Structure 1
Amino acid sequence: MTTEEGWLKADDGKKLYTKTWKAEEPAKARLVFIHGFSDHCNTYNSFFPTLASKGIEVYSFDQRGWGRSVLKPSEKGDTGPTSQVLADISCFMRTVIPCRIPLFMLGHSMGGGETLCYAAEGPADIRKHIRGYLLESPFVDFSPASKPSPITVFFGRLAGKILPHHQMVNQLDVKLVSRNPDVQKQMLEDPLCHDTGTLEALAGLLDRTGHLSTGKVVIGDAAGEGGVTRIWFGHGTKDGITNPEASKKLYDSLTAKDKTYKPYEGYFHRLHDEPSPDNLEFMNDVADWILARSVEPVQVEASKPKL
Structure 2
Amino acid sequence: MTDSHTAGNTYIKFFDALSTHGIEVYAFDQRGWGRSVTKTAERGLTGKTDRVLDDMTSFIKSVLPSPIPLFLIGHSMGGGQVLYYAARGPSEIRKHIRGYLLISPFVDFSPASKPWKATVIGGRLLGKLFPRRQMMSGLNVDFVSRDPEVQKAIKEDELCHDTGTLEGLAAMLDRTLELSTGRIKIPADAGEGGVTRIWIAHGSEDGLTNFAASKRFAETCVAGSDKEFKAYDGHYHRLHDEPEPYRNQFLTDVVDWILARSGELGQEDGGQSKL
TM-score of the aligned structures, taking structure 1 as reference length: 0.85
Q: Which residue of 2 aligns with 1:262?
A: 230
1:178-189 paired onto structure 2 within 5 Å: 178-189=145-156
Over aligned residue pairs, what C-alpha RMSD do you find? Answer: 1.0
Q: Which residue of 2 aligns with 1:74?
A: 41
Query: 4+ runs of 1 displaced by more than 2 Å?
Result: none
- How many residue pairs get matched? 265
Q: Which residue of 2 aligns with 1:27?
A: none
* Contact 2:44–2:164 (8 Å) recurs in 1: yes
Cα distance between partner residues in 2 of 1:35 and 1:187: 15
1:12-27 paired onto structure 2 within 5 Å: none
Residue 159 of structure 1 and its aligned partner are, at CA, apart by: 1.5
1:117-128 paired onto structure 2 within 5 Å: 117-128=84-95
Greater strand percent: which structure? 1
SS in 2 for 1:105: strand
Cα distance between partner residues in 2 of 1:133 and 1:198: 28
Of residues 251, 261, 269 in structure 2, which corresponds to 1:293?
Answer: 261
Q: Which residue of 1 aligns with 2:175?
A: 208
Cα distance between partner residues in 1 of 2:104 and 2:122: 27
Q: Which residue of 2 aligns with 1:37?
A: 7
Q: Which residue of 1 aligns with 2:196?
A: 229
Q: Does 1:155 align with 2:125?
A: no
Identity within the alignment, %? 59
User: Which deviations, in whole Å up to 9, do the C-alpha atoms of 1:184-218 show, x marking residues without a partner?
Assistant: 01111111111111101000111111101111111
SS in 1 for 2:171: helix
- The amino acid that maps onto 2:206 is D
**Which residues of structure 1 form unaligned runs of 5+?**
1-30, 299-307
Residue 297 of structure 1 and its aligned partner are, at CA, apart by: 4.9
* Contact 2:193–2:265 (8 Å) recurs in 1: no
- The amino acid that maps onto 1:112 is G
Residue 255 of structure 1 and its aligned partner are, at CA, apart by: 1.9
Q: Does 1:280 align with 2:242?
A: no
Of stretches 252-261 and 219-228 in structure 1, the one that deviates more from structure 2 is 252-261
Q: Which residue of 2 aligns with 1:18?
A: none
- The amino acid that maps onto 1:238 is E
Q: Does 1:90 align with 2:57?
A: yes
TM-score of the aligned structures, taking structure 2 as reference length: 0.95
- The amino acid that maps onto 2:217 is L
* Contact 2:112–2:208 (8 Å) recurs in 1: yes
- The amino acid that maps onto 1:217 is I
Residue 38 of structure 1 and its aligned partner are, at CA, apart by: 2.3
Cα distance between partner residues in 2 of 1:73 and 1:187: 18
User: Which deviations, in whole Å up to 9, do the C-alpha atoms of 1:101-122 show, x marking residues without a partner?
Assistant: 1000000000000000000011
Q: Which residue of 1 aligns with 2:206?
A: 239
User: Which deviations, in whole Å up to 9, do the C-alpha atoms of 1:61-106 show, x marking residues without a partner?
Assistant: 0000000001111110010000000100001000011111100000
